[in-house]
């Protein structure tokens, strides 16, 4: 069975956990206790996802993924490819729009309270800051929905179709 490299699998699962935790924190932050420092942690995880995405892209350029099963219909292969392209776009755009949005605010931006992260030169009311704020929220919800579809598709392959699609990433 063809599998992803151990580095690709590690990056996938580390990022999957970080992204899912961050989507939950972002969506539920108003309902969580105020003394949890949810948003600074959310921002730190977002910056981490952005950095790991650059590592993952560099790795991906030099390492081709294993082929999808030959028996998989063309539409399904196209859907899998499109989903991965959108995931990479979200892994860059969602943290980047959050960084831009945060840059327009007055609160500091730091990485897990260890060091400050430079802010972009935007202020509240700037078109870029406003678009980033709206885009961050819309893409976050879209990403959450796409992740649910991705997990459902992986489970379908594993449980219903009993092929090796999920095992390639395990």
Q: Which helix (DSSP H) or strand (DSSP E) does residue 151 occupy?
A: helix 127-155
**Which is more confidently placed, 69 or 131?**
131
Q: How far apart are CA 45 and CA 111, in angstroms?
A: 8
CB 100 within 8 A of CB 120: yes
Q: How far apart are CA 102 and CA 91, in angstroms?
A: 17
Question: Taking 90 as the threshold, does the pLDDT of residue 1 lie above it?
Answer: no
pLDDT of residue 21: 98
Other C-beta atoms closer than 10 Å to the C-beta of 29 total 14
Whether the full predicted model's pTM is greater than 0.75, yes or no, is yes
Task: Provide the mean pLDDT of the chain.
Answer: 95
Q: In Å, how far are 56, 77, 168 from 63, measured between CA atoms?
A: 10, 19, 14
Query: Please, what is the end-to-end C-alpha distance for the chain in angstroms?
Result: 12
Q: What pLDDT, in 10s, does the model give residues 86-141?
A: 999 999 999 999 999 999 999 989 999 999 999 999 999 999 999 999 999 999 99
pLDDT of residue 117: 98
Beta pairing partners, 116:
110
């Amino acid at each position: 069975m063809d599998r992803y490299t151990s580095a690709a699998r590690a990056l996938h699962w580390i990022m999957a956990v970080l992204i899912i935790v961050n989507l939950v924190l972002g969506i539920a932050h108003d309902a969580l206790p105020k003394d949890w420092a949810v948003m600074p942690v959310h921002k730190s995880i977002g910056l981490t996802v952005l950095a790991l995405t650059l590592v993952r892209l560099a790795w991906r350029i030099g390492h081709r993924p294993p082929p999808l099963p030959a028996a998989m219909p063309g539409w399904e292969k196209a859907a899998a490819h499109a989903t991965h392209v959108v995931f990479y776009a979200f892994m860059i755009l969602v943290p980047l729009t959050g960084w831009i949005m945060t840059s327009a605010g007055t609160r500091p931006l730091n990485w897990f309270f260890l060091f400050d992260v430079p802010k972009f030169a935007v202020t509240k009311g700037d078109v870029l800051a406003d678009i980033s704020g709206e885009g961050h929220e819309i893409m976050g919800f879209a990403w959450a929905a796409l992740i649910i579809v991705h997990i459902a598709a992986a489970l379908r392959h594993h449980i219903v179709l009993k092929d090796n699609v999920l095992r390639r990433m395990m």
